[in-house]
Structure 1
Amino acid sequence: MQEIDSLIQNYLKDLDYTPVLVMLDNINTGKKLRSKLLLNIAGKNDISFKLCAIIELIHLASLLHDDIIDEAKLRRGARSINDKFGAKNALMLGDILYSKAFFELSKIDTNFAQIVSDAVVKLSLGEFMDINLSQEFNIDENKYLKMIYHKTAILIEASARCGAIIANLSEDDFAIYGKNLGLAFQIIDDILDIKSDEKILGKPIMNDFKEGKTTLPYIYLYKKLNDVDKKTLMSFFKKELNKDEITWVKEQMVKNQILEEVFNEARSYGDQALKAIENYNKTSLNEIIDNMISREF
């Protein structure tokens, strides 16, 4: 991944403005799932490295804007950029990363530019959907899945699609792989928000629910509760939960086997991803699915 980090640094050094680089140094660039996916499909070459750097810039920009909207103080266990440098600076950095990514993208084949730019439009639409869904307790699973497809899976799908084009493989097959990988990835995140340790997760547990995100575990739980317990769960929505309230939610999750059910859904999407590329003998892509589903953060 060092090649990609170096490209990102060089792209932003071109701007000749130190505050951009200072803030970039304070961002944990994360697992680079999208880059690993693209490189495992396309192999290591000049165009694939450039596309990875561009996609990572876009992903980082989306996280910056996401943290501003959520007023998040932590990102991957460290202070968020908006908390450390202020929301205005974080917003402008996000805009700069997006704009620089599109500038570098314009130098590459227009096919890649169309795929990635279309994904960014849908990603932004997904963020918009997330904001609107957060206004009230959502129990519509389809609305939630549509939102996470746009907000999370679409850029992973675009990465797989670009990789397939570079490698002269079926764009459609690898797009299906990427889409289902992205859906599974977000659903595992939903589970970890509830069951993971705060130190491992890098943020408070059940933070999603406090921010107004009715993720799949809460949707599934709501549907299994009696009327009294449904009211109790809804009373916790967008609330800073105390220890007893957290314990109540976790006990209900265990009693109703919710996390197992949600995990099985994530596994189902993983299986659909693998089925789409079963004829390509890409064992590394099987490992990406396995590692993503078994992760702890």
Structure 2
Amino acid sequence: MGLERVANIALEILQNTQSKEAISLYKELECGKMLRSKLVLSIVENESAYRLCAIIELIQSASLLHDDVIDESLLRRGKTSINAKFGNKTAIMLGDILYSNAFFELSKFDSQIAQSLSQSVSLLSIGELEDVSLEQSFNNNEQKYLDMITHKSASLIAASAECAAILATHENHRDYYKYGLYLGMAFQIIDDILDITQKSENLGKPALSDFCSGKTTLPYIYLYHELDNDKKAWLKSLFKKNLNTDDFEHLHSLLLENPIKKAKQKALFYGNFALQIAQKVKNKKLESIINTMIERDF
């Protein structure tokens, strides 16, 4: 019921545009896990919190619209993406409409909340820029990958938790920020693992599609550093390519060994930090979120 209410408020905000086309396009978007809203409502639940969640969901949707254009994605959550269905210009402009309406509503909140969330969107955009740069060639630098997902994936989750804590008048709101940051890091690493370990029908896209589209995620980085020079050259030759059956099967089998194990350990490393903070602030709901997230189908 709570998440449905968030979705309804987001739609109400967008209806203020009085643009039938924008509203119609927005309704085409598939609702995701709403992790950020679940996080906020696990910290504070009142009318302002629901409105904050709606703003965050609009920001998240806008970022995904732009992300799909940049990545030339044809699918989003198993359905045809807005850019594939209506064109890049339409997807970009819809994203801009969502952003601008979200920030208009955000301006009505306390300045500390507005600043935290606004800063996270700046970091998110920097992360997107870093991601585009990393896609130019095979990346074997783990720290560059971690910095990128800190900005692109974890910053908005971290700010969501911090803003909820500020709304709840918790003085230790930076603890909540750190919780969200570690949760976001673990969440993205697990998503990257699932791209390798899950079947295509569960993913809503082909397995290993991240690598084929130009993303060198953590398991590939770990694999690279395990290989001899000839095998390293082979791995780099597959980057951004449509894999034939033999290469796919060989690469898949190599990834499922030590690289996936190491990536899981890194996700658990961040997940355990988040869990410690949840225990420190004595919030069982936050403990449940991190436990459920790190236990999902690796």
TM-score, structure 2 as length reference: 0.97
Matched, 1:274 2:275: yes
Shift of 1:245: 1.4
- 2:248 counterpart residue number: 246
Moved more, 141-150 or 14-23: 14-23
Identity %: 48
Does structure 1 residue 147 correspond to structure 2 residue 171?
Answer: no
What does 1:86-97 correspond to in 2, within 5 Å? 86-97=87-98
Q: Return the match for 1:214 from 198, 216, 228.
A: 216
Instruction: Determine if the alignment matches structure 1 residue 17 to structure 2 residue 14.
Output: no
Equivalent AA in structure 2 for residue 17 of structure 1? S
Instruction: Give the one of 6, 9, 14 matched to 2:8.
Output: 6
Q: Which letter maps to 1:133?
A: L
One-letter amino acid of the counterpart of residue 24, structure 2:
V
Match of 1:16, SS?
Answer: coil
2:43 corresponding residue in structure 1: 41
CA distance in 2, matches of 1:110, 1:168: 14
How far is 1:207 from its partner? Answer: 1.2
- SS of 2:280's equivalent in the other structure is coil
- 1:153-181 C-alpha deviation (Å, 9 max, x unpaired): 00000001011112222111111100000
**Residues of 1 paired with 2:133 and 2:255: CA distance?**
26
Deviation string for 1:171-216 (max 9, x for gaps)? 1111110000000000001101111111111112111111211110
Cα root mean square deviation, aligned: 1.1
Tell me the SS of whatever aligns to 1:99.
helix
Structure 1: stretches of 5+ with no match in the other structure: none
Structure 2 CA distance for aligned equivalents of residues 71 and 147 of structure 1 = 19
Which residue in 2 is equivalent to 1:72? Answer: 73
Which string of whole-angstrom CA distances, capped at 9 and with x for unpartnered residues, describes residues 98-146 of structure 1? 0000001011111111001011011000000000011111111111100
Output the TM-score relative to the length of structure 1: 0.97
Match of 1:182? Answer: 184
How far apart are the structure 2 equivalents of 1:280 and 1:98? Answer: 32
Asked if structure 1 preserves the Cα contact closer than 8 Å seen for 2:197 and 2:256, the reply is no
Residue 185 of structure 2 aligns with an amino acid whose one-letter code is L
Q: Of 181, 192, 195, which residue of structure 1 is paired with 2:194?
A: 192
d(CA) in 2 for partners of 1:117, 1:258: 36
Deviation string, structure 1 residues 71-97 (Cα, Å, up to 9, x no partner) = 000011000000011111000000000
Tell me how far apart the structure 2 counterparts of residues 265 and 70 of structure 1 sit (CA, whole Å): 26
Q: Flag as ranges the 4+ runs of structure 1 deviating above 2 A.
A: 294-297
State the shift of 1:253 in Å: 1.6
Alignment match of 2:206 (pick from 199, 204, 208) = 204
1:108 and 2:70 aligned: no
Partner amino acid, structure 2, of 1:134: E
What is the aligned partner in structure 1 of residue 139 from structure 2? 138
Q: How far apart, CA to CA, are the structure 2 residues paired with 1:88 and 1:2? A: 29
Measured after TM superposition, the shift of residue 227 of structure 1 is 1.2
Residue in structure 2 matched with residue 291 of structure 1 by the alignment:
292
